Structure 1
Amino acid sequence: MNLYLLLSIVTAVCFGLQFEPFSHVMAWQADAIENGQWWRIVTGNFTHTNFAHLAMNLLGLWVIGYLFQPKPRNVAVLTLLISSWIGISLLFTNMVNYVGLSGTLHGLFAFYALKEALDGRKSSWLLVIGVILKVASEQLFGASASTAEMIGARVATEAHLSGLIIGLLLAAIMYKKTCQSRF
């Protein structure tokens, strides 16, 4: 499968989930998940508060695809892994509702930036440091008020942190596994 075909499919799915009844049935809701609606762990990442939120997240997805040119299969698997991690990790916070792809985007960006850096692309360390500083800033000072206003909701900085952690962790595990298989 072509990378841009995959990104187009994700775009279409996210767009479709903007409309009822899908948006209500797919959004991450802690109480619904606790009552057996497990699909929301993943699907909540693909629903959004409004079209500005959707556009901002999809733009981020396409930029990541353009910058890193990853293999489509890897992006698909990573997106599902990272989204699942975020959906589960948010159950251990005080969040009640969550929608948006931004946590997954932070995970994908962190993964590919660290992968490139570990593979010897020195300039990618700047990307790794940048995403870590961005998420640290959000944890210390909160997210941008203008972003919250634009998406019509509080920015889920917990999802950004969770995505960052799993993205870095998966890249490190993959690197270690690759190094071990060389010997």
Structure 2
Amino acid sequence: MLNLPTDKRYITAPLVLIFAAIIIFATPLSELFEYNRSLFSHGEYWRLITAHFSHSNSYHLILNLAGVALIWALHGEYYDARKYALALLLLALYTGGGLYIFYPENTLYNGLSGVLHGLIIVGALIDCQKGMKTGYLLFIGVWLKIAWEQYAGPSAELGQLINARVATEAHLIGAISGIFVYAKLNRHALRENITQ
């Protein structure tokens, strides 16, 4: 039987994220939130973070929200609302910043997939810290997926479904960002391990 983290302290932040993404999608805010390199360069700096909460169509939204639910089911107990919000903010900032710095040809972006790749890496590393073999499998599996995407390029079929190019570079940057966010969120536990 599944032991889902349904306690209020674990489920509140993912639910807020889900409802916020739905509201942004269902209103004219979506276009105001998406990553647009040109507009960001002209002072609309919020787009670096807000782009991750905007979606190209309903399929894109549903796929990303399914990812939120899956990650919550796997690792929800690792985050209270404050820690979850901090992880999301940092992952959004690092992923958006990485896209801006390292991929100048990427002029438009929206969606949670980069952030979700980072969040799953954070959870996998916490699993590893706890000695769970599944954490190592998840960590390796995510990196194999990303390596394949970097080699083969974005999925044309998924791109058609979501009516946008799949930003595999956001997946890569998000996963790398996940390592840094893990280190930030768990620095006390890491220090204890080093001193032992």
Q: Per the shorter chain, which TM-score range?
A: over 0.9
CA distance in structure 1 between the partners assigned to 2:75 and 2:185 by the alignment: 16
Given the alignment, which residue of 69, 72, 76 partners 1:62?
A: 69
CA distance in structure 1 between the partners assigned to 2:86 and 2:152 by the alignment: 32
Instruction: Quickly say closer, same or farther: Cα 1:179–1:110, change in 2 above 3 A.
Output: closer
Show CA shifts across 1:8-59 (max 9, x none). 2111111111144211111111111111111111100000000110000001
Given the alignment, which residue of 126, 132, 143 partners 2:143?
A: 132
State the one-letter code of the partner of 2:155: S
Show CA shifts across 1:88-140 (max 9, x none). 11112111000000000000001110121122112210000000000111001
State the one-letter code of the partner of 1:141: A
For structure 2, the 5+ residue unaligned runs are: 1-7
Given the alignment, which residue of 130, 141, 158 partners 1:147?
A: 158
Secondary structure, aligned partner of 1:18: helix
Superposed counterparts of 1:158-169, under 5 Å: 158-169=169-180
For structure 1, the 5+ residue unaligned runs are: none
Count residues in correspondence: 183
State the one-letter code of the partner of 2:98: S
Which residue is equivalent to 2:115? 104
Identity of aligned residues (%): 34
Which residue is equivalent to 1:76? 85
Secondary structure, aligned partner of 1:36: coil
State the one-letter code of the partner of 2:51: G
Residues 35 and 48, structure 2, Cα contact 8 Å, conserved in 1: yes
CA distance in structure 1 between the partners assigned to 2:186 and 2:18 by the alignment: 30
Residues 118 and 175, structure 1, Cα contact 8 Å, conserved in 2: no
1:117 aligns with 2:124: no
